[in-house]
Structure 1
Amino acid sequence: MIKTIIFDFGDVFINLDKSATERELYNLKNEKLTTELRELNMLYEAGKITTPELIESFQKLIPNASEKQLIYAWNALLLDFPKHRLEFIQKLASEQRYQLILLSNNNELHINWIKENISFFPEFRSCFDAFYLSHEINLRKPEPYIFEFVLKQHQLNPSETLFIDDTKDNTDTAAALGMHTWNNNPVTEDVTDLFTIKSDLF
């Protein structure tokens, strides 16, 4: 029996265009920065570098770009947050049948953008019993340590826990630790279909 549901944020609740940041940075430099972008993203998401350090690193790579242009490029992957997903999690929270946890690889610039542009973010956040962002806890998916942290923090039984994430590496790690998983496809599936798609668990 599932007692706890752990949700990812991006491409589960808020829609993303994951290629947008790389595309916008390319437009600023006319050169691919794939490796550098990946390395900086991992450090920034884990809270190992600050926002000023991130901007400084990009300015070394793209000297002609302004801070405003770089922040715009960084946040370009963030799209819309459909209201029906908010209503879904609000209903789930009101029923109090499950412990609800959010576990997201996230960073300061992205969460600031979300706070400024998603008017109902406070209502969304209040639906969860715990709300973990990677840059705040200095751990990031798919490393097992972040899942072990949540399991220990809440004394969860993995066999009674469902983890939902659009990235297979993340759900693979969770599954290896004994959790039930749903590696959702954001193109064809919606988190609001949870109880239909994973009906075997409920």
Structure 2
Amino acid sequence: MIKNIFFDFGAVLIPIDEIKTRRAFEELGALSALAQQDELFQQLERGEVKEEEFLKSISSFFFRKTILKKDLAKAWNALCHEAIPAESIRLVRQLSKKYDCYLLSNTNPLHLAQIKENSGRFAYKKFMDSFKDLYLSHEMGSRKPEKAFYEKVLKDHELNPEECFFVDDREENIEAAKALGIKTWHFNPKKDSILKIVKRLD
């Protein structure tokens, strides 16, 4: 019996478009090497580097050597182009009446600040307050699909993995959760609707 729901954030509860960020960087004159800096991006998500340090680091991957930090931040945040959908807020609030809901997100302060600005403080708070707990990678020092990420969630709340249901759009995150005995839904944002989650919980 499912008692706990673990939600991914981007591409599941809120639309994101990574192509927008890539194009925004290209318009600023990004070198092709920038797209290969996965470790740097992951360091930001783990909280191993702060926003200022991150922006300074990526500034070295551009043809122009004088790019304003605000322009870099705007380009980095381009993928967060929408507010949290009202239907996502309603869904989590409704499900939280029956299940313990948790947000498990690989994210960073820059993206969260942009989403908050897009959504408005009231709607953002209303959404976040619907979860029993928030597991944000930059606060945890780990990220999905690292085993430690999931184990902390389970340990913190003494959860039985078999009573947990996890929805995420990335296969590697799903497989890591499955390995711990967590029930999963590999969400496809192009064809799936998160509103259909209720049928999968039965």
TM-score tier (shorter): over 0.9
User: Conserved in 1, the CA contact under 8 Å of 2:169 and 2:186?
Assistant: yes
RMSD: 1.2
Identical columns (%): 38
Q: Which secondary structure does the structure 2 equivalent of 1:19 belong to?
A: helix
- The answer for the alignment partner of 1:65 in structure 2 is 67
After the TM superposition, which residues 159-198 of structure 1 pair with which residues of structure 2 at under 5 Å, given as runs? 159-196=162-199, 198=200
Find 2:94's aligned residue among 91, 94, 99.
Answer: 91
- The answer (yes or no) to whether the contact 2:31–2:61 under 8 Å persists in 1 is no
In the alignment, what sits opposite 1:158? 161
- Which residue does 1:133 correspond to in 2? 136
- SS for the counterpart of 1:100 is strand
Q: Select the residue among 44, 61, 76 that pairs with 1:74.
A: 76
Structure 1 residues 10-68: Cα deviation after superposition (integer angstroms, max 9, x where no partner): 011110002222221122125322112x2221000000000110011022222232111
Alpha-carbon displacement from aligned partner over 1:165-185 (angstroms, at most 9, x marks no partner): 011110110001110001111
Name the CA distance, whole Å, in 2 between partners of 1:140 and 1:28: 29
1:134 CA drift (Å): 0.4
Question: How many residues align structurally?
Answer: 196
In the other structure, the counterpart of 2:117 is 116
Question: What residue ranges of structure 1 are gaps of 5+ in the alignment?
Answer: none
Native 8 Å contact 1:5 1:99 kept in 2: yes
> Does the C-alpha gap of structure 1 residues 70 and 145 become closer, same or farther in structure 2, counting only changes over 3 Å?
same
* Alpha carbons 1:14, 1:79 under 8 Å: kept: no
Are 1:146 and 2:146 matched, yes or no? Answer: no
Letter of the 1:161 counterpart: C
1:65–1:164 CA distance, 2 compared to 1 (3 A): same
Q: Relative to structure 2, which stretch is displaced further, 163-172 or 111-120?
A: 111-120
Amino acid aligned to 1:171: I
SS of 2:192's partner is: coil
Provide structure 2 residue ranges, at least 5 long, that are not aligned to the other structure.
none
Contact 2:55 2:69 in 1 (8 A): yes
The TM-score, its normalising length taken from structure 1, stands at 0.93
CA-CA distance at 1:160 after TM superposition: 0.8
Q: Paired residue for 1:24?
A: 24
Compute the TM-score of the two structures, normalised by the length of structure 2. Answer: 0.93
- Post-superposition Cα deviations, 1:55-98, rounded to whole Å, max 9, x if no partner, equal 110222222321111001100111322211111111122x2x21
- Counterpart in 1 of 2:36? 35
Counterparts of 1:84 and 1:178, CA distance in 2: 29
